[in-house]
């Protein structure tokens, strides 16, 4: 049995305006992250940079975590758990932290190899994987509209991944690597969603534990795969782009948590959906990339499908609530 004995927590009243403003901040942060990643020195490989930026995430997350505890906000530490429950939570945290660590590496690698614009659009495929897990594990039936939009979304991603040719032989393997990022995110989120709903864990605690476990995971992978790489990672940590990427990534995580405290996740997601457009705009002057017409077309279709899926989901929820009240 769980008992909650947390200290005082300062919860401000929800504000739609504040939630929208925070979501717009997330949009800007998400749009700049692929650019920052590709602005790193060429001598720093993807795994080394992923580890370096993760270390900086811990550096930025630690003070927020410590200040919150100092103010008496115990959050997850205010729970009395049975040993079995405590072990389960630790296993969930370790597994999902490892998934997030792997996704950080795939993010850096995918952005580098597939290109900032293509990777940004691929990462926006998160709803596609969320629908897949809901259908397979939660047995949630999808409407004809949702299935049609999903098919169009898959088609547009295939169109983008083949460079606008629609030929399977032209499908970029690096684009598939970029798709691994939302795949891993969706798996981790499905696993931890129920845990977060049952515990008083705070956004600062979620962020801190996530980045610490991710950093340890990447350090272990580096030590096993390339022990000498740990020395290179120590040098990479001192690179300004590693610190900047760590800061922006950390801010995006924690700002998002606070945004959805003020507005629904669906609204916050709708506001941040067009962030790959910002990546495209910045990639031209900052990275010297050329944006092709097929990329613009793919982005427009992907964004339209995500908005359509969001509206269809909201309509289903309203109909379900209406039937429940009858």
Domain ranges of the chain: 14-138+173-287
Find where tokens 């845990």 sit.
195
Cβ neighbours of residue 6 under 8 Å, at least 6 residues apart?
Answer: 73, 74, 75, 77, 78, 200
DSSP at 167: -
d(CA 20, CA 204): 20
* Residue 195, CA distances (Å) to 77, 83, 87, 207, 230 in order: 14, 16, 13, 14, 34
pLDDT at position 174:
96
Question: Mapping DSSP to helix (H, G, I), strand (E, B) and coil, where does residue 139 land?
Answer: coil
pTM score: 0.89
Q: Taking the CA of residue 104 as centre, how many other CA atoms within 13 Å lie in the half-sphere pointing to its CB?
A: 33
d(CA 97, CA 214): 5
Span between the terminal Cα atoms of the chain, in Å: 35
pLDDT at position 54:
97
For 272-306, give the DSSP string. HTTHHHHHHHHHHHHH-----HHHHHHHHHHHHHH
In 3D space, the residue among 195, 186, 188, 164 whose CA is nearest the CA of residue 81 turns out to be: 195
Each residue's pLDDT, cut to its tens digit, for the chain (326 residues) gives 333 333 333 445 678 899 999 999 999 999 999 999 999 999 999 999 999 999 999 999 999 999 999 988 877 787 777 788 888 888 888 999 999 999 999 999 999 999 999 999 999 888 888 878 877 776 777 888 888 999 999 999 999 999 999 999 999 999 999 999 999 998 888 777 666 666 777 878 888 999 999 999 999 999 998 888 888 888 999 999 999 999 999 999 889 888 888 888 778 888 999 999 999 999 999 999 999 999 999 999 999 999 998 888 788 777 777 777 76
Task: Classify residue 250 as exposed, middle or buried by CB count within 10 Å of its CB (0-12, 13-18, 19+).
Answer: buried
pLDDT at position 269:
85
pLDDT at position 8:
37
């Amino acid at each position: 049995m769980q008992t909650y004995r947390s200290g005082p927590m300062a919860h401000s009243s929800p504000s739609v305006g504040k939630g929208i403003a925070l979501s717009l901040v997330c949009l800007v942060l998400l749009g700049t992250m692929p650019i920052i990643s590709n602005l790193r020195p060429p001598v720093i490989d993807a795994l080394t940079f992923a580890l370096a930026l993760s270390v900086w995430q811990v550096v930025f997350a630690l003070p927020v975590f410590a200040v919150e505890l100092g103010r008496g906000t115990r959050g997850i530490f205010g729970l009395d758990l049975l040993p079995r429950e405590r072990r389960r939570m630790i296993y969930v945290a370790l597994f999902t932290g490892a998934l997030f660590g792997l996704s950080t590496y795939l993010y850096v690698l995918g952005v580098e190899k597939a290109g900032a614009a293509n990777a940004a659009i691929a990462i926006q495929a998160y709803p596609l994987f969320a629908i897949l897990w809901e259908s397979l594990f939660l047995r949630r039936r999808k409407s004809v509209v949702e299935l049609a939009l999903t098919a169009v979304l898959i088609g547009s991603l295939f169109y983008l991944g083949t460079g606008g040719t629609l030929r399977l032989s032209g499908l970029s393997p690096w684009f598939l690597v970029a798709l691994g990022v939302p795949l891993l995110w969706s798996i981790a989120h499905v696993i931890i969603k129920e845990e977060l709903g049952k515990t008083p864990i705070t956004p600062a605690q979620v962020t801190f534990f996530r980045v610490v476990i991710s950093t340890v995971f990447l350090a272990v992978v580096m030590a096993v795969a390339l022990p000498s790489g740990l020395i290179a990672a120590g040098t990479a940590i001192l690179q300004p782009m590693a610190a900047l990427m760590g800061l922006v990534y950390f801010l995006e995580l924690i700002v998002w948590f606070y945004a959805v405290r003020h507005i629904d996740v669906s609204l916050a997601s709708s506001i941040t959906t067009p962030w790959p457009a910002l990546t495209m705009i910045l990639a031209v002057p900052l990275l010297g990339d050329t944006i092709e017409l097929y990329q613009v077309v793919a982005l427009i279709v992907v964004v339209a499908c995500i908005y359509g899926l969001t509206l269809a989901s909201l309509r289903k929820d309203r109909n379900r609530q209406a039937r429940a009240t009858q």
